[in-house]
Amino acid sequence: MPRSLPPIPANPAFFIDFDGTLVQIAARPDLVDVEPVVRHVLESLDDRFGGAVAVVTGRPLDVVDGFLPPLKLSVAAEHGSVRRDAKGRVHVDQRGLGAVKRAAARLEPLVEANPGLLLEPKLTSVALHYRQRPELAEACKMAVEAAATGVAGLAILSGKMIYELRPEGVDKGTAVAAFLAEPPFAGRIPVYAGDDVTDEHAFAVVNDLGGITIKVGDGDTAAQYRTDRKGLFAWLAGAA
> 3 with 226: CB under 8 angstroms?
yes
Looking at 17, 46, 195, 199, which residue is catalytic?
17
> 63 with 159: CB under 8 angstroms?
no
Q: Is 33 one of the catalytic residues?
A: no
Q: What are the catalytic residues?
A: 17
